Structures are given as structure tokens and as C-alpha cells.
Amino acid sequence: MAAISSNDIKNGITIKVDEGLFTVIDFQHVKPGKGGAFVRTKLRNARSGAVIERTYRSDERLEQAMIDKRDMQYLYRDGDDYIFMDQSTYDQVPVSSKTLGDAANFLKETGKAMLMLHDDEIIGIELPASVELEIAETEPGIQGDRVSGARKSATLETGFVVQVPLFIGPGEMVKIDTRTGDYITRA
């Protein structure tokens, strides 16, 4: 772990705090008229996603955690684990559904993802901004029911339920935003 100064904090870096690994999502250098300067930060827990706020004195030493991001391909599900393959070494890596969290709703076989590792422990996953998934089941749209903006529930091939427009039917491919879980457009 590399030691850095609190003045070197930037968005996106990961630091080790007593409670675990945290990624800086926002920071602000504050220099009040009276007293010493300090850095106000918003930190996201790399494992749980919880956000905390911390304040550090100017020139306070922090430990920067080195996060290795690897390009992986999702292969299949084996019980509670999801099996990924490293694109460069072809090693297969099991990842628990607890580690994936909501990202499991958007994983399709042969889909790409970026796994984040710290000391050979998988701490998170980054998905593409959107994925294309097939509608497994949905109710048919009723003739004449064309209220603008009307939505209905549809179950995707991964089992995730999303709200789609009335004209979308079973078997169609749709584009889904992985950050919010919302329907974007037909694929």
C-alpha cells in the first residue's frame, strides 16, 4: 500500500480506512480564514456500497489501496457462484452472488464485465453502461390502449423485472441501463 497525503486525494482513488476499502466519490479542499486547512470527502465502501463522509487534516497521511481491474467474460452460473473467465489468461474465477449484488440481474452468458480485485480478493464489478437482454415474458398490449408513456412489467431472460412500453412483446431484445435498471430502447 502506498502512503499518500490528504492533499493528493482525487475522485476515483481507493483508500484504506479502519472500516475497510473506500473509493473517493467527492472531495473538497477547504481553507478557512481561521485554523488549518482540511479536506472534506465522500467515500463509498468498495464492498457494501455504503457512503460515508470523512474530514482529514491537511497533509494527513492515508493508505492508498491498489485496485487491479481485469476484463472478464461471464460464462455460467454454478449454484450460488457466477463463473467468470479472465480474457488474458483464460483462468476461470468463481464470484459469489453476494459480491455481485444487483449486477447479477444484468449478466448474460458470454457478457463482458470488469472485475475489481484487491490482494486477489474480488471486491466489486463494473458493467457496461447498458446491456441488451431478451424479454422472457410479458403481457400482450391491449388494442386501443395507447396512452402515451404507459408501461407494463416484463421479465427479462435473467429473471429481472423491468417496466417497458406497451408495444414490447415476448422474445424482443431491449436495451437496459445497468446503473438504474431502466428500459432505454428496443435493441
Assign residue 47 the CATH number of its domain: 2.30.30.30
Q: How far apart are the first and last CA of the chain?
A: 44
Q: pLDDT tens string for the chain (187 positions)?
A: 578 888 888 888 888 888 888 888 899 988 888 888 899 999 988 777 788 999 998 888 888 888 888 899 999 988 888 999 988 888 898 988 888 878 888 888 888 888 888 888 888 888 888 889 999 998 876 666 566 677 888 999 888 999 988 888 889 999 999 888 889 888 8
The x, y and z cell numbers of residue 105, run together, are 440481474
Q: What is the CATH number of the domain that holds 109?
A: 2.40.50.140
pLDDT, residue 148, reads: 65
Q: Which domain holds residue 163?
A: 130-186
How many domains does the chain divide into? 3
pTM of the shown model: 0.69
